[in-house]
Amino acid sequence: MNYTLFTKNDLMALSKETRKQMAHALAGVIISIKGIDKIEHHHEIMGSVLIGIGVVIIGLTIYHHRLAKYIKSFDALVFLVEAIVLSIVSILYLQDGKKALPIAYVVASLAYLVAAYRSYHRDKKAISHH
């Protein structure tokens, strides 16, 4: 039996905008989960900060279209913030003695940096053509 939630074709069928919003929401959820983990290990302040950041990212995802009207390169800004926070989460996992998770988070952080760069330049190009 194949229990795959999404196939590659399912994901490719989604619009680019939907995939970006899924990436933002996923980052918010992952950051919030790390915050819960920190609270469970008696690091209430750091855990609360991470949960707060995760909730803000999820909120930004929900209100994306409204906010993008007022902030140029909104996607690039959100991707950049997510990249920074994912880097911090990587450091936290490293401090917790984890081996593979920090690498996964660094890779994710780099992917979000690339997304921020590409989004910024795509927005910049679109603005200059108007």
- Which two structure tokens, joined as six digits, stand for 104? 């996964």
**Alpha-helical regions (H) of the chain:** 8-13, 16-40, 44-62, 64-68, 74-95, 100-128
Q: Return d(Cα 57, Cα 88) in angstroms, integer.
A: 15
In sequence order, the 6+-apart residues with CB closer than 8 A to the CB of 61 are 21, 24, 25, 28, 78
Model pTM score: 0.71
Domain residue spans of the chain: 15-128
pLDDT in tens, the chain (130 residues): 556 665 666 666 678 778 888 888 988 998 899 899 999 999 999 899 999 999 998 998 888 888 888 888 888 888 898 899 889 889 988 988 999 999 999 999 999 999 999 988 887 766 665 5
**Among 86, 42, 82, residue whose Cα is nearest residue 61:** 82
